[in-house]
Amino acid sequence: MENNQNNESSCHCCGEWLKPKIILPILGMLLLTGIITVSILRDRIVNQPQYQVSVTGLGKVSYQPDIANVNLGVQVDKQFSAENALQQLNDKMNKVVTAIKLLGITEADIETQNYTLYPQYDYKDGISIPAGYSANQQLTVKVRKLNDNKESVSKVVAAATKAGANQVMGITFDVANLNDLKQEARLKAIADAKSKAGALAQAVGVELGDIMGWWENIVQAPGIQSYGSYSGDGKGGGAGAVSSPVLPTGTQEVIIEINLNYRIE
């Protein structure tokens, strides 16, 4: 009797395991485990880890600027009317432009950067009192082919101030073949990066594979403010007898960084 009862109990347990509500979750877990395992193995086989290293090279190219951008202007202060302020400004600026053109500067290389008219006030005993009108106009004069005439920038400044300009805000230097200089600097930077990469790989005992990517950074290029400013009092005519200032262009550099990203074999 006891054996029969045990057999019946054992069969009953087996029957419980064979019920769908128990078998299906177990099969689902086994299937999910298999899928995850296959995915991990596939990722390890197909997408093998790639080890990379980045090396930065520097390229420098020296040049002599052959273009100058001169920023100068005329300031007229405390005229009794707005019309009078503008009239004086226009008269003086016409003389300045004429003097610049006589030096061979074309009209296309003379550009207005600022033109303003505004009231001025004096303060007395804490009270604002109208003091007249002021006007200002600023020009950017592009002087080309500096290598052919080293004194051309100085002559432009001297002629403009003699004709009535009483502001010189600054001078920036440029170069006509800037794109060629940048490309030369890039190639030097790439060569420098490759040289460094080879030496480092040999030192640590690894082999470099293909270049996976790169980026560049322009560290220095034309367009740097070179000189300070001068501003007259805005009264009277021109600056009188003006000697030509000494404005050496010097030697400048285009500097570019190139970063190469290598795969390590």
For residues 18 and 74, state if they share a domain.
no
- Residue 14 maps to a domain: yes
On whether both 152 and 86 belong to a single domain, the answer is yes
**pTM higher than 0.85:** no
User: Residue 171: which CATH number?
Assistant: 3.30.70.2970
Distance, CA of 27 to CA of 31 (rounded, Å):
6
Judge if 72 and 169 occupy the same domain. yes
| 167 in any annotated domain | yes
Q: Please determine, for residue 65, whether its predicted confidence score (pLDDT) is greater than 80.
A: yes
pLDDT above 70 covers a percentage of the chain that reads 72
Give the C-alpha separation, 263 to 265, whole Å. Answer: 6
Q: Residue 163 is encoded by which pair of tokens? A: 């004709």
Give the rounded percent of residues in the chain with a pLDDT score beyond 90.
48
What pLDDT score was predicted for residue 233?
47
* In a domain? residue 157: yes
Tokens describing residue 156: 């432009």
Give yes or no: residues 74 and 104 share one domain.
Answer: yes
Residue 166 counted as domain residue: yes
Are residues 98 and 167 located together in one domain of the fold? yes
- Per the domain annotation, does 169 fall within a domain? yes
Regarding whether 139 and 20 lie in a shared domain, the answer is no
pLDDT at 221: 85
Residue 194 domain-assigned (yes or no):
no
Domain assignment present for residue 187? The answer is no
Residue 7 scores a pLDDT above 80: no
Pair 33, 76 in one domain: no
Indicate if 139 and 171 belong to the same structural domain: yes
Q: Are residues 34 and 80 in the same domain?
A: no
The more confidently predicted of residues 138 and 128 is 138
| Confidence tier at 25 by pLDDT (50, 70, 90) | low
pLDDT digits (tens, 9 = 90+) for 226-263: 444 444 444 444 444 455 666 677 788 999 999 999 98
Is residue 49 over pLDDT 70?
no
Model confidence pLDDT, tens digit, residues 171-221:
988 999 999 999 999 999 999 999 999 998 888 888 888 888 999 999 988
b/e code 99-132 from CB counts within 10 Å (16+ = b): bbeeeebeeebbeeeeeebeeeeeeeeeeeeeeb
The verdict on 106 and 237 lying in the same domain is: yes
* Residue range(s) defining the domain that contains residue 14: 2-46
**What is the average per-residue pLDDT within 60-82?**
93
Band of residue 157 on the pLDDT scale cut at 50, 70, 90: very high
Q: How many independent structural domains does the chain possess?
A: 2
Looking at residue 239, what is its pLDDT? 44
Contact 72, 139 (CB under 8 A): yes
Q: In the chain, where does DSSP find H-type helix? A: 2-17, 20-46, 82-101, 152-163, 178-204
User: Does residue 146 sit in the same domain as residue 99?
Assistant: yes
pLDDT of amino acid 127: 83
CB 218 within 8 A of CB 256: yes
Residue 228's pLDDT is what? Answer: 40
With respect to residue 191, please indicate whether it lies within any of the assigned structural domains.
no
Mean pLDDT, residues 24-36: 68
